[in-house]
C-alpha cells in the first residue's frame, strides 16, 4: 500500500522567517526518520535560501517568478517530478514572500488528483513587528497580502516576537483572530515551534479557503473562481481562465505586479563597512535583500540578510561554486540607483 504524501506550504511575507522555519522542519523530519523534499520559489534569479538547506535534501527550484502567477502551472509539474524521482515522505513548498497562497492551493490540489499527495497545511509565518506597523495604517498592498496569507492558513506562526512587547503581541493576536478564527497561533522567536504538531494538521479547503478577491489597478474588486471547467461531450476538459482574460483587459495581472527584484553580481570583493553604509541608506521601498559576499576586510565569505529595517551577516562556507551576488526585492524602486551605489563600492 502506498501512503499519501503530505504537502506543507510555507507562506508569509518577505523576510518573515519561512526559511528559518524550513530549516527546523527539515531537521525535525531527519530526526523523526522522515525523508523531506523541498520546493523553493524565489523572485530573483538565484536561490540563496537553498544554501541554507542541507545538501542531501532533494530540492527543486522555481526561480525568477512568483509561484502564484508567472510560473503557475510549473508547480504541478515540479511536484510530480519531485515525487517520482525522490519518493519523499513529506514535501515542503516555500513560496516567495509575495505569493498569495490562495492561488497556490489550486495548483497543489490539482496535483493531488493525479498523485498520492495531499495538501495538509498552509503555515503562514507572520512578521510580528511588520504587521504591527502595517496594522496602524490598515492599508496598502502588503497589508492586504498579509491578510490573505493569514486567512488561508491552518497554522499561524507569529514570528519575531522578540521585537515587540507582550502587550503588542496580545493586540496582534486579536487582529489575526478576526481574520482567521480557527488556526492555532504560536508566538515564536526564530520560528521555534513544536513541529510534532505538523503531523496532526488537517487542511480543509472546503471550509477554510477564503473567497477570492481579485483587485485590479482601477480599484474594482471581483470575487470569482480562477477557472471555469467545461467538460465536452467527448470527455475533454476545456479551461477558461476568466481571471486572466479580465487581467488582460485591464492591463494588470496580480496584486503584486509592483514587486520587483534587482540582482547584482559583484566582480570583486568589497569593503564590509562601505557595503553596510549602502544598505543602511536603501530606500524604504526595498524591504528585502540577501546575498553572498566576499569582503576585502574579512577572511571568510558571508551570507547577507536584510529584512527592513534590520541587517544580518552570517559566516558561510558554500559547498557549491556560488558567485558574489546580492538580490534586492521591493516595490517600484529604481534599479539604476541601487546599481550605481553598488558599482561605486
CB of 328 vs ligand GTP, minimal distance in Å: 11
Residue from 6, 7, 11, 16 touching ligand GTP (CB under 6 A): that is 16
Question: What is the size of the binding site for ligand GTP (CB under 6 A)?
Answer: 21
291 touches ligand GTP (CB under 6 A): no
Residue from 190, 217, 309, 339 touching ligand GTP (CB under 6 A): that is 190
Q: Are strands 228-231 and 117-127 parallel, antiparallel or unpaired?
A: unpaired
46 touches ligand GTP (CB under 6 A): no
Which 3 state secondary structure label does DSSP give 173?
Answer: helix
Rounded to an integer, what distance in angstroms lies between the CA atom of residue 279 and that of residue 272? 11
Contacts of 95 (CB under 8 A, 6+ apart): 9, 10, 11, 18, 41, 66, 67, 68, 101, 104
Handedness of CA 200, 204, 208, 211 (dihedral sign): positive
Q: What CA dihedral angle connects 64, 69, 75 and 77, to 10 degrees?
A: -100
Largest CA-CA distance found in the chain, in angstroms, rounded: 71
Residue 205, H or E segment:
helix 205-208
Pick 22 or 79: Cβ nearer ligand GTP: 22
Rounded to an integer, what distance in angstroms lies between the CA atom of residue 140 and that of residue 58? 37
Identify the residue whose cell numbers are 566576499: 294
Per DSSP, the residues of 199-256 read: GG----HHHHPPPP-EE-TTS-EE---S-EEEE-TTS-EEEE-HHHHHHHHHT---TT
Rounded to an integer, what distance in angstroms lies between the CA atom of residue 229 and that of residue 25? 37
Site string for ligand GTP, 144-173 (x = CB under 6 A): ---------------xx-xx----------
Residue from 7, 9, 14, 156 touching ligand GTP (CB under 6 A): that is 14
Piece of the chain touching ligand GTP by CB under 6 A; list 173-181, 214-222, 244-252, 305-313: 305-313
Residue from 9, 131, 307, 326 touching ligand GTP (CB under 6 A): that is 307
24 touches ligand GTP (CB under 6 A): no
Rounded to an integer, what distance in angstroms lies between the CA atom of residue 134 and that of residue 85? 43
Binders of ligand GTP among residues 214 to 233 (CB under 6 A) are none
In the numeric block, which cell numbers belong to residue 221? 474588486
CB of 87 vs ligand GTP, minimal distance in Å: 26
CB of 329 vs ligand GTP, minimal distance in Å: 7
CB of 160 vs ligand GTP, minimal distance in Å: 4
Residue from 288, 324, 330, 333 touching ligand GTP (CB under 6 A): that is 288
CB of 189 vs ligand GTP, minimal distance in Å: 4
47 touches ligand GTP (CB under 6 A): no
Pick 10 or 117: Cβ nearer ligand GTP: 10
In the numeric block, which cell numbers belong to residue 130? 511588520
Identify the residue whose cell numbers are 504537502: 7
41 touches ligand GTP (CB under 6 A): no
Pick 99 or 270: Cβ nearer ligand GTP: 99
> Which residues sit at the interface with ligand GTP, rule CB under 6 A?
12, 14-20, 49, 97, 159-160, 162-163, 189-191, 288, 305, 307, 312
Amino acid at each position: 500500500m502506498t501512503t499519501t504524501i503530505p504537502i506543507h506550504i510555507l507562506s508569509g511575507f518577505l523576510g518573515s522567517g519561512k526559511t528559518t522555519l524550513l530549516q527546523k522542519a527539515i531537521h525535525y523530519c531527519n530526526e523523526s526518520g522522515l525523508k523531506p523534499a523541498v520546493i523553493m520559489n524565489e523572485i530573483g534569479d538565484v536561490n540563496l535560501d537553498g544554501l541554507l538547506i542541507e545538501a542531501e535534501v532533494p530540492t527543486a527550484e522555481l526561480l525568477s517568478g512568483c509561484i502564484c502567477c508567472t510560473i503557475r502551472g510549473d508547480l504541478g509539474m515540479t511536484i510530480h517530478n519531485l515525487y517520482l524521482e525522490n519518493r519523499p515522505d513529506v514535501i515542503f513548498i516555500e513560496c516567495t514572500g509575495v505569493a498569495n497562497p490562495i492561488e497556490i492551493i489550486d495548483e497543489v490540489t490539482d496535483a493531488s488528483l493525479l498523485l498520492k499527495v495531499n495538501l495538509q497545511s498552509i503555515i503562514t509565518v507572520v512578521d510580528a513587528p511588520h504587521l504591527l506597523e502595517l496594522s496602524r495604517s490598515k492599508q496598502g498592498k502588503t497589508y492586504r497580502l498579509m491578510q490573505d496569507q493569514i486567512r488561508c492558513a491552518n497554522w499561524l506562526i507569529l514570528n519575531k516576537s522578540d521585537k515587540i512587547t507582550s502587550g503588542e503581541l496580545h493586540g496582534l493576536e486579536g487582529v489575526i483572530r478576526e481574520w482567521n478564527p480557527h488556526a492555532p497561533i504560536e508566538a515564536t522567536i526564530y520560528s521555534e515551534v513544536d513541529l510534532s504538531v505538523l503531523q496532526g494538521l488537517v487542511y480543509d479547503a472546503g471550509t477554510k479557503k477564503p473567497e477570492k478577491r481579485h483587485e485590479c489597478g482601477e480599484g474594482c474588486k471581483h470575487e470569482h473562481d480562477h477557472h471555469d471547467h467545461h467538460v465536452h461531450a467527448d470527455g475533454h476538459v476545456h479551461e477558461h481562465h476568466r481571471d486572466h482574460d479580465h487581467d488582460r483587459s485591464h492591463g494588470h495581472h496580480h496584486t503584486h505586479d509592483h514587486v520587483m527584484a534587482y540582482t547584482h553580481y559583484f566582480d570583486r570583493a568589497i569593503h564590509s563597512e562601505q557595503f553596510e553604509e549602502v544598505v543602511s541608506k536603501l530606500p524604504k521601498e526595498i524591504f528585502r535583500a540577501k546575498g553572498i559576499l566576499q569582503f576585502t576586510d574579512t577572511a571568510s565569505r558571508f551570507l547577507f540578510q536584510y529584512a527592513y529595517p534590520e541587517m544580518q551577516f552570517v559566516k558561510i562556507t558554500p559547498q557549491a561554486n556560488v558567485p558574489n551576488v546580492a538580490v534586492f526585492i521591493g516595490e517600484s524602486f529604481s534599479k539604476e540607483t541601487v546599481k550605481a551605489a553598488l558599482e561605486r563600492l
